[in-house]
Amino acid sequence: MIVGEKILEVNGTKNPGQSIKGLNINISIDNVEKAGDNLEITYSYTANYDENAGQIKIKGVLVAKEDDALTKEAVDSWKKDKKLPQSYTTNVLTALNYSGSANGTLVARVLGLTAPLIPPRIQLSSKPE
């Protein structure tokens, strides 16, 4: 379970005279390690506005308290392949997208950029009969 986050760095730029025509968001995981009883996932969230209109960068650490087996699996997988376990990646990316969008919106507002929001994917399932 994700229990917290520490923002380490925030940077934003806007190029005057450039109109915003699109947005690309990149979320990268930079490190995964065990810190005491917690799993710490260091990340970078970058929102690049098309046509070089601006950029927002947020670096931070996501703090999770997981069972020992998942923590060990995540750390071992990171050390071996620089990847998180497939079953855990969705939870982490969802949390990072939410945090980046929320914190990035504050930076975007100050700079006069559009909020770096990615709409969630909606899946429909059939109603059980």
Break the chain into its structural domains and give their ranges.
Answer: 2-111
Asked if the model's pLDDT at residue 120 lies above 70, the reply is: no
For residue 62, give every residue at least 6 positions away whose Cβ sits within 8 Å of its Cβ, in sequence order, or none. Answer: 2, 4, 5, 40, 41, 43, 92, 95, 96, 99
pLDDT, average across residues 52-72: 95
**pLDDT tier at 118, thresholds 50, 70, 90:** confident
**pLDDT tier at 73, thresholds 50, 70, 90:** very high
Instruction: Give the separation between CA 113 and CA 19, rounded to whole angstroms.
Output: 9
127's tokens: 């109603």
pLDDT at residue number 19: 84
pLDDT at residue number 18: 82
Short-list 60, 63, 50, CA closest to 11: 60
Q: Which CATH class is domain 2-111?
A: alpha beta
